[in-house]
Amino acid sequence: MAQQTEGATHFGSQEVPLADKQLLVDGVFRSVARRYDLMNDLMSGGLHRAWKAAKITALNPPIGPKPFALLDVAGGTGDIALRAAEASGEGFCAVVCDINPDMLAIGRERAAKHALEQRLTFVEGNAERLQFPDRRFDAYTIAFGIRNVPRIEAALKEAFRVLKPGGRFLCLEFSHVDLPGFDRIYELYSHNVIPVLGRIVTGDADAYRYLVESIRQFPKPAAFADMIRAAGFSRVSCEAMSGGIVTLHSGWRL
């Protein structure tokens, strides 16, 4: 991860004050909200569906009446929460927390379409300062969102705080390709194809240039695992997928 100066962080390739990054990220996702899920399909060739399915398998929500409360952070469009609800029993409920109201509006629409609005709650909130009480949730998930948080350490501490003892943290995030040859192909694709797709589909190439740069700035899996441990989690592990394009990070509050 690139070094940060005191009170500063990176927004793409630019160093910006920490206080400014959240506003800039909000602008990115507000711009692309309505086409966000379509772009995920196009950028990944549909692979994001398999990655998310693997995350739900790891989550393993109960399929019976046993109560199970999930907090899905930065999950505004409801993709992870909907998948978890469909894989679980009647005891399952989820709170989707996102800082972007435009993404949350889409999530509410999707929940209503799937007749799951009674089991999914959508709340506007900041990952660094969650509004929920201590030890509230059985699991905390975040997919492709933690690299956009200005203070990642604060978000991880909040994740630990709101989990019950025995609760699980699961984070799916873009990572660093480590296959010789494939890494170069992926780099060329990321910098030359993804922004063009973004311009065609959403009308905003700059938003997807930021997303590509944010992946480069995110810590490598071993370094991020150390951050998860520093937040208090135990049995921390990481699983690379698709040659390292993404990594599924796991930790437990014991």
Question: Which residue in 150, 132, 184, 185 sits closest to 9, CA to CA?
Answer: 150
Give me the tens of pLDDT residue by residue for the chain, a chain 254 residues long: 333 444 654 444 455 555 556 666 666 566 566 666 777 777 788 888 999 999 999 999 999 999 999 999 999 899 999 999 999 999 999 999 999 998 899 999 999 999 999 999 999 999 999 999 999 999 999 999 999 898 999 999 999 999 999 999 999 999 988 888 888 898 888 888 888 887 887 777 777 787 888 888 899 999 999 999 999 999 999 999 999 999 999 999 99
Query: Over the range 56-88, which residues count as b (16 or more CB within 10 Å of their CB) and which as e?
Result: bebbebeeeeeebbbbbbbbbbbbbbbbbbebb
> Please, what CATH class does the domain formed by 8-252 belong to?
alpha beta
Asked whether the beta carbons of 174 and 83 are under 8 A apart, the reply is no
* Cβ 248 vs Cβ 172: under 8 Å: yes
Give the pair of three-digit tokens for residue 168: 């699980």
Distance from C-alpha of 114 to C-alpha of 164, rounded to nearest angstrom:
29
What does the block give as tokens for 100?
Answer: 């972007």
The domain spans of the chain are 8-252
Q: Write down the pTM of the prediction.
A: 0.85
The residue behind tokens 């796991």 is 250
The pair phi, psi for residue 80, each rounded to 5°, is -70, -45
